[in-house]
Structure 1
Amino acid sequence: MRSEDVSAAADAPEPKEAEKQSRAGRNLPAAVGVGAGLGALVIASLFLFKDAFVAVVVVALGVGLWELARAFAKAGIVIPFLPVLTGGSIMLVAGYYGEMETAAVAMALTVLGTMVWRLSDGADGFVRDASAGIFCLSYLHLMGVFVVLMLAEDDGPWRIVAFIVATVASDIGGYAAGVLFGKHPMAPTISPKKSWEGFTGSLLVGIAAGILTVRYALDGEWWVGIVLGISAVVMATLGDLSESLIKRDLGIKDMGDLLPGHGGLMDRLDSLIAVAPVAWLILHFLVDVS
């Protein structure tokens, strides 16, 4: 064996260490630091000046749209960015300061505006690009409307806390259980790192978080917390798998590199936007406004 081969073998990580790194799949210290920073921003905007959280949602979904537009462009799909961004932002503001009907009108006009905007580029790829724009509008801003609807309630900040905590708990529980115990892939052709053991961890931690936040933050019934926790885990998992399928179809690993340890902002938003409509439905009908 040549000396350089011996040196390379000596420098290689131990098999167990390499396995841990590959199973973790992210820079954990960076991920924790970024997550703590984002959490501080959310808490500050919610409880210091509630309306500021609307701006946080508008900016976050705008960045998410930008990441999607860049990803789609790699597959030759051109999203009509400006009309989708403008109309989607108006939808969010209308949902908070107006009513659901106002946001619905804003969405209808944005759909028409997206198609009209794309007319100038001719017929080639019209259906593809316009459909992608409407998909992004629905995937991001329509889901986001339910976030601002929760916020609009008198106890809105605590409803947002319950919704976010249940979703983040699902992610943390699934990540920890998957790294430690994951052996049976849930959807190997879509997301090889997702396991049934991780899903079980998501359920346990998500349910616990749902019970604690609904019972003590919203003064709701404990069983509603179980419903919220289970729903958050199921929808967060489906949202994550859906985005994984989008990335596989586009041939990319992450939506971006904006957040160290996480990837792109869309890699964090995928679960939240999937949970938002169901969380609004559960909290709106099962928890009285306090």
Structure 2
Amino acid sequence: MSHLDPYSGTEPRGWERSDRPPALPWPEREVEPWSPRQSGPDLSAGPQAPLRPPVRRHDEPNGGPYDEPVGDRFGADRPLGDLVRPLPDDAPTSHLAPVRDDDAPAAHLTPVRDDDQPTAQFAPVRDDDGFRSSFPSPVAEPEPAPPTGRRFRGRRRASAARPATPLPATGRAGRNLPAAIGVGLGLGALVLVPLFFFLPGFLAVLAAAIGVGIWEMTRAVRRSGAHPPLLPLLAGGVLTIGLAWFAGPDALSLGLLVTVLGTMIWRLGDGPAGFQRDITAATLIAVYVPFLGGFAAMLAAAPGDGHLRVLVTVVGVVLSDTGGYAAGVSFGKHPMAPRISPKKSWEGFAGSVTAAAVGSALLLWLLFDVAPWWGAVFGVAVSGAAVLGDLAESMIKRDLGVKDMSTLLPGHGGLMDRLDSVLFAVPTAYLLLAILVPVVG
């Protein structure tokens, strides 16, 4: 017994079927409440697609409405236009209004032109900009005009029309040699002119130099986390120089003690956090800059020949630096202290000692009537102290992670980069001259 076919009833089959679709066996309103039967002027008058034939069920027997030939059902010789029929009035889409071109959702949008593209404002990429296309360009882009007005900060590409910006010339020592020579001559004049023509002016220059050195050292050690107080160090440094000038070695030690104690008392106001670290840094600065600089004040304060004592000391340091630079650049191959100062060599140290010994022997013999060999000893000692002072500051800067103490002097860095050799040389010169000159005289 065949199953009941809901689509096969008593209606005729094949070409004898009417144009109306067969009625469904279930109530349509309960199953499809969204497709009410309406008719009226909203029905589309254009041709509609034919209804999709129902799908055979898996339990439907053969001989149903799906087994008949297509030609018998739709007409084998009928044209395709006759097979497309308009939907009846009770079709599910009969209540929808036809869509016109002016009612399209995008009809209110303006058409997109070529100049409205998102990338229209970008300049085309040329072959000389470093990107070369593997495909030939169908349209040759015009060469863009060079930009006018203020150029933004940054690197620019050098070309024949725009040559590269020349960098300042530097020597093998990594310094701007012309600027270094000019600044060195200016510093020498600033020291020697008041030294020979107005001695109290030299005291003012020395106090100012010590103050700048204290400021540079305080600024540099803050990179390590220490914060030594600047004001008590400046006041104590100037006081130390003045006491050494007027009262000698005992007053110099007193000035150092007052500077350290005053710094400790000042630092108590900031609380106990980091107190030991800050006081250690402040003591280092007080000993390194104003205490050692106080020996230069005592050299200049010597009665009668103080200016000459300062002169031979400064000349010995200058000869040491100049001879070391010349010998190191020309013959330097063996590093002296590569972990502290890689550019210093033993050949440069030999040149420093030789130049200072020869120059000091001649200068002390002419100015103080000292035997040349004693003058050579003085030059060797001053040169050795100057090199040690340079290495000491290089070690401090390497520990702090700085190249120069500041950028105050073009070609030299900071003032402490020039005082490092002098600060170690003046105590040595003071002690040696206190022995040599009185004995010979």
TM-score normalised by the chain length of structure 1:
0.91
What secondary structure is seen at the aligned counterpart in 2 of 1:74?
A: helix
1:165 aligns with 2:315: yes
What secondary structure is seen at the aligned counterpart in 1 of 2:285?
A: helix
1:201 aligns with 2:369: no
Moved more, 104-113 or 257-266: 104-113
C-alpha spacing 1:209/1:120, structure 2 compared with 1 (3 Å) = same
**Equivalent residue in structure 2 for 1:24, among 173, 190, 197:** 173
Please state how far the C-alpha of 1:61 moved relative to its aligned partner. 1.0
1:253 aligns with 2:403: yes
Q: Percent identity?
A: 49
What does residue 275 of structure 1 align with? 425
- Amino acid corresponding to residue 289 of structure 2 in structure 1: L
Superposition map of 1:179-258 within 5 A: 179-258=329-408
Query: Is 2:170–2:177's contact at 8 Å kept on the other side of the alignment?
Result: no
What does residue 135 of structure 1 align with? 284
Query: Is 2:336–2:344's contact at 8 Å kept on the other side of the alignment?
Result: yes
Please state how far the C-alpha of 1:22 moved relative to its aligned partner. 6.2
What does residue 43 of structure 1 align with? 192
Query: Is 2:320–2:356's contact at 8 Å kept on the other side of the alignment?
Result: yes
1:34 aligns with 2:180: no
- Indicate the structure (1 or 2) with the bigger Cα radius of gyration: 2
What does residue 296 of structure 2 align with? 147
C-alpha spacing 1:3/1:271, structure 2 compared with 1 (3 Å) = farther
Moved more, 164-173 or 22-31: 22-31
1:91 aligns with 2:271: no
- Amino acid corresponding to residue 343 of structure 2 in structure 1: K
CA distance in 1, matches of 2:278, 2:232: 13
- Amino acid corresponding to residue 281 of structure 1 in structure 2: L
TM-score normalised by the chain length of structure 2:
0.61
Please state how far the C-alpha of 1:21 moved relative to its aligned partner. 4.9
What secondary structure is seen at the aligned counterpart in 2 of 1:192?
A: strand
Query: Is 1:159–1:218's contact at 8 Å kept on the other side of the alignment?
Result: no
Unaligned 5+ residue runs, structure 2?
Answer: 1-126, 131-156
Q: Which has the higher contact order (CA 8 A, sep 6+)?
A: 1
CA distance in 1, matches of 2:414, 2:379: 25
- Note the aligned Cα RMSD (angstroms): 2.1
Aligned residues: 280
Unaligned 5+ residue runs, structure 1?
Answer: 13-19
CA distance in 2, matches of 1:224, 1:81: 42
1:123 aligns with 2:272: yes
Query: Is 1:191–1:244's contact at 8 Å kept on the other side of the alignment?
Result: yes
Query: Is 1:75–1:250's contact at 8 Å kept on the other side of the alignment?
Result: yes
What secondary structure is seen at the aligned counterpart in 2 of 1:189?
A: coil
Query: Is 2:324–2:349's contact at 8 Å kept on the other side of the alignment?
Result: yes
CA distance in 2, matches of 1:257, 1:225: 36
1:112 aligns with 2:261: yes
